Amino acid sequence: MTTIISLQRRAPVFQLVALVALFVYGSATIAGFSARTSLTSMLVLASLLGLAALGQTLVLILGGLDLSVPGHIVMGAILTSQLYGTEGVSGAGAIAVVVAIAAILGAATGWICHRWRIQPLVVSLGIGSMASGATVAWTQGKLNGQAPPFLTDLTSASGTTFGIAVPPVVVIWGVLAIVVAVVLHRTVAGRRFFATGANPRAAGLARINTKKVWICVFATSAVCSALVGALLAGFAGADQTLGDPYLFSALTAVIVGGTTFMGARGDYTHTVVGALILTVLTTVLVGRGLQPADQQIIFGVLILLVVAGYGRDRRLQDRV
């Protein structure tokens, strides 16, 4: 058992087994589940969920919780569509504006939380509400813009990447996952990040600029969410409630992947597996005729089981 637990800490073994089991079950019981069109659609949905969960993963490893994810998603979707579709701004220019605003708001969240030692969930909830509310107020509730066509191409399940029948957003997600893994585990910045999440006080005494870490992490989370909003605008169009499902689903993907609220515990590669599990599980539940309310119940039970398992482990700062 000790060997299994030690292996689970290094790799998402249980999650991979669950993913394979869910896929086999879906293929055996649902017609067309393993068809190519179904697989590409699931990969696109998992990519959007995984990208939305990137920032939340970093924030949880840091020891916080980001409730601004849906607000930044709405802001990114509406601003991109309105700037391009009604204001005549180029697609690249619209995305640049979205990234700049999200980075400023995210950095402000990290700075406020670190400066006054305020719980991130309180500050992030307020900042996220401000982002989405200000965007809706600017448009006066009239969402008559459209996303740049290249965003639709990026998120299309029938899209290709360099002639290969793989949706571009899936490739982007895969490359980003590799980059994040390298940065977290093979760079000085990554070691400082994990040290801050494990014990902020000890990290500060080790001359790590913990304020900079907090600012960068929350800015990254906000930018990721806003970019997901832009992608969703090309995928399904902008809407005031577009980001609501991604708060719970992204958090569930992170927790199911193995990242918990214990600080310095988790990895984005685990979240990638968690996003795939949730996407396949949702497809199975829909194929079996379950309603959204039933799905929420199952996700809640899944979170409780995972948290109960990891909650028995000690925090890293208590083990060192």
> pLDDT digits over 202-240, tens only?
999 999 999 999 999 999 999 999 999 999 999 999 999
Report pTM: 0.94
Residues 247-267 have pLDDT tens digits of 999 999 999 998 877 665 788
Q: How confident is the model at residue 310 (pLDDT cuts 50, 70, 90)?
A: low
Q: How confident is the model at residue 305 (pLDDT cuts 50, 70, 90)?
A: confident
pLDDT, residue 2, reads 65
pLDDT, residue 293, reads 87
Q: How confident is the model at residue 141 (pLDDT cuts 50, 70, 90)?
A: confident
How do the domains of the chain map onto residue ranges?
A: 13-312
Which stretches within the chain are classed as H helix?
2-10, 13-29, 36-62, 69-85, 91-116, 120-139, 149-155, 168-186, 188-198, 200-205, 210-236, 244-257, 268-287, 292-310, 316-319
pLDDT, residue 207, reads 94
Q: Among residues 29, 147, 173, 20, which one has the least CA distance to residue 95? A: 147
Q: Among residues 122, 66, 88, 97, which one has the least CA distance to residue 248? A: 66
Q: Which fold has domain 13-312?
A: ABC transporter involved in vitamin B12 uptake, BtuC (1.10.3470)
Residues 112-122 have pLDDT tens digits of 999 999 999 99
